[in-house]
Amino acid sequence: MLGVDAKLSNRYNHPHIKLIPYALLDEEKQVDIYITQNPGCSSIYPPDKFVIDTFLWCAGEHPLYKSISKTTTLDKFASDNGIQKIDYIKIDTQGAELLVLKGAKNILKTTSFIKVEVQFNPLYEGASLFSDIDMYLRSQGFVLYRFFDLNHYGVFGEKLINLEEFELNFDALIFKLPQKGGQLFTGVMPSSSQKPKNLC
């Protein structure tokens, strides 16, 4: 069976893509990673037991074992590699997003747009939530742009309940969409710099 690095190298084998096998956080240290049934749900934080026992779609978060990884920061990586500017940053680290951002305080000053996964309700014990990330990004000169990929989880047939329509407004354009039951847990939060830096 191919290792993770080999799988990624095969999948993203393109001259414009460079894979760098570093784990990013807010400092250089050694951390435990909880490897889960669905590898994409693995995190430095243990999965919330209530969530994985309650919501069917979160069953893949059941932990199988722990692994160890060394971390660095995005600021250090940029400094070590002569990177003076990063236009766009995308972060999806299963609850560790705020720590990654705190390790990028210097390079964020050069960044125009950030796309980060957020949790509105905890999927992992001790993970940062939307409000934490939003406040931190605002303190660094960013503002919320919009939400994508909002995920609701329901129990006891809740997802089948019809709620009032959800309204999306784009200036004078108004779209009304059907809305089902379920509690909001995750989404993607793009944020833009209040003072765009060469943003086209």
CA distance 187 to 125: 18
- pTM for this one? 0.88
CA distance 178 to 126: 33
Q: Is 157 left (phi over 0), alpha (psi -120 to 50) or beta?
A: left
Q: What is the pLDDT of residue 2?
A: 43
pLDDT lower than 50: segments of the chain:
1-2, 198-200
Q: What is the pLDDT of residue 196?
A: 52
> 25: number of CA atoms within 13 Å, CB side?
19
Q: What is the pLDDT of residue 9?
A: 83
Pairing outcome for strands 88-91 and 173-180: unpaired
Q: What is the pLDDT of residue 4?
A: 59
Q: What is the pLDDT of residue 96?
A: 97
The residue type at 70: K
